[in-house]
Amino acid sequence: MDPAFITPFIASVQNVFSTMMQLPVQLGDPSVKMTPALSYDVSGIIGMSGDVVGNVVISLPMPTALRLVALFTGTEMKAENPDFADAIGELANMISGNAKGMFAGKKRVQISCPSVVIGSNHTVARPKDVPCIVIPATTDCGQFVIEIAVSQRENAQAPAADAAATTNA
Amino acid sequence: MRILLIDDSKTMRNIQKSVLAQLGHTTVEEACDGQDALNKVGAFQPELILVDWNMPNMDGLTFVKNFRQTNKNTPLIMVTTESEKARVIEAIKAGVNNYVIKPFTPDLLSQRITETLAKRAA
C-alpha cells in the first residue's frame, strides 16, 4: 500500500483525539494484517469511494471503548446504549473525514456514513485482494487499532482546478 | 434565540448544544438529517442553523440549497469533516455563512457562532 494512504490516518487520529478529547495518542509501526485475524469488541467502519476505494476501521476492546466514549461524550454509558454506537461512529467519521482531506494529489474521495459493530471478539473481514494495514494505538484510555484497507482506483485522475466538487451519495 | 442543529450524530448535537448553552443559548431544536430539518424549520423558525454535510436521507448541502430557496437571511454554519477548498467554496455558493471543520474545540465553535451572529447583526 502506498504510504501516502497511511500517513493521513496517523495524523488524523492524533488530531481528532487531541482536539475533541485532549487525549494524546501514541501510534505504533504500521504492519500488514496477518491471519489469524485480530478480534475486537467494538468497531467503527467507514467506506471510501471515488479515486480511493476501500474502508477504514477503528477497532477497540470494550474497556477502551467505554472509557473513550465517556471522555468524548462527557457521560459514562453502557455499550447497549444507542448513544454508545453513535459516539464510536462519529469518531470513525471524523478520523476518516480528516484523513480524506489530507490525501495528496487532490483526490476525489467520498466517505460513507459510519457503521458500528458491537460484539465480543468479532473480526472484520475484507476482500482478499486488498491489503490491510494495521496501526496500533495507545492512549491513557487503553489500546486500539486502526485498520486501513484502501487503494487507488484504476484510471483515477486528478480533478481539474476549476471543476465543481462532486456531491455526496 | 432559536437555534436548529442538524447532524445525524446525537453525540455531535450534544457537543454543539453544550457549546451553545455556555453562550447562553438554550432554545435548541434538533434534526437528524436534511429532510428532518426541512420538516421542522417552518414551525420552529430558527434564527441560526448549524448543519452537518454527510447525512443519510438528505445531506447538508442539499438542505442548504432547499432552505435558501425560501430563506436568504437565516445564518447557516456548516459543521463538517469536509475540508477541501472546493467543498468550502461549494457550500458558500450554496448559501452557508460560516464553516467549521470537525474536529473542533468548543472555543473554535463558540468563536464561529459569535462571529456569525455579529455579522448578521451588523
User: Is residue A158 predicted with pLDDT exceeding 70?
Assistant: no
Give how far the C-alpha of residue A49 lies from the chain's centroid of Cα atoms, to the nearest Å. 14
Q: Are A72 and B11 in contact (CB under 8 A)?
A: yes
The ipTM assigned to this model is: 0.89
Contacts of A98 in chain B (CB under 8 A): 81, 83, 102-103
Residue B71: which pLDDT band, with cuts at 50, 70 and 90? very high
Provide the grid cell at A137.
494505538
Q: How far apart are CA B87 and CA B106, in angstroms?
A: 23
- The answer to whether B12 contacts chain A (CB < 8 Å) is yes
* Confidence at residue A35, expressed as pLDDT on a 0 to 100 scale: 61
Share of chain A above pLDDT 70, in %: 86
Q: Are B28 and A107 in contact (CB under 8 A)?
A: no
User: Is residue A163 predicted with pLDDT exceeding 70?
Assistant: no
CA-CA-CA-CA torsion for A124, A128, A130, A131, nearest 10 degrees?
A: 80
| CATH value at residue B47 | 3.40.50.2300
User: Is residue A159 predicted with pLDDT exceeding 50?
Assistant: no
* Helix (H) or strand (E) segment spanning residue A111: strand A109-111
Instruction: Render pLDDT for A69-97 as a digit per residue (tens, 0 to 9).
Output: 999 999 999 999 999 999 999 999 999 89
By 3-state DSSP, what share of chain A in percent is helix, strand and coil, each rounded to 5? 30, 30, 40
Domain spanning A3-152: CATH superfamily: CheC-like (3.40.1550.10)
Instruction: Estimate the crossing angle of helix A82-100 against helix B10-22, to 10 degrees.
Output: 90
> CB neighbours of B45 closer than 8 A, spacing ≥ 6?
B2
- The answer to whether B83 contacts chain A (CB < 8 Å) is yes
Contacts of B62 in chain A (CB under 8 A): 167
Provide the grid cell at A97.
473525514
**What phi, psi does B101 have (nearest 5°)?**
-95, 130
Q: Count CB atoms within 10 A of the CB of residue B108.
A: 14
Q: Is A126 helix (H, G, I), strand (E, B) or coil?
A: coil
Mean pLDDT, range A133-145, rounded to an integer? 95
Global pTM value: 0.87
User: Is residue A162 predicted with pLDDT exceeding 60?
Assistant: no
Size of interface A-B (CB pairs under 8 A): 72
* Confidence at residue A168, expressed as pLDDT on a 0 to 100 scale: 33
Instruction: Render pLDDT for B9-49 as a digit per residue (tens, 0 to 9).
Output: 999 999 999 999 999 999 999 999 999 999 999 999 999 99
Choose between A166 and A17: higher pLDDT.
Answer: A17
* Confidence at residue A156, expressed as pLDDT on a 0 to 100 scale: 56
* Confidence at residue A107, expressed as pLDDT on a 0 to 100 scale: 72
What are the strands, taking DSSP E only, across chain B?
A: 2-6, 27-31, 48-51, 76-80, 98-101
Mean pLDDT, range B106-120, rounded to an integer? 93
> Do B84 and A94 make contact, defined as CB atoms within 8 angstroms?
no
Q: Is A101 helix (H, G, I), strand (E, B) or coil?
A: coil
Provide the grid cell at A112.
460513507
Mean pLDDT, range B95-112, rounded to an integer? 96
* Confidence at residue A85, expressed as pLDDT on a 0 to 100 scale: 95
Mean pLDDT, range A44-63, rounded to an integer? 90
* Confidence at residue A161, expressed as pLDDT on a 0 to 100 scale: 39
Q: Which residues form the domain of B110?
A: 2-121
Q: How far apart are CA B22 and CA B75, in angstroms?
A: 20
Helices (H), chain A: 7-21, 62-73, 82-100
- The answer to whether A15 contacts chain B (CB < 8 Å) is yes
Among A162, A113, A90, A167, CA closest to B63? A167
- Angle of CA points A140, A72, B84, to nearest 5°: 105
Q: Are A11 and A124 in contact (CB under 8 A)?
A: no
Instruction: Render pLDDT for A94-130 as a digit per residue (tens, 0 to 9).
Output: 998 998 888 766 678 888 888 999 999 888 877 777 7
Among A131, A140, A146, A136, CA closest to A46? A146
- What is the tally of structural domains in chain B? 1
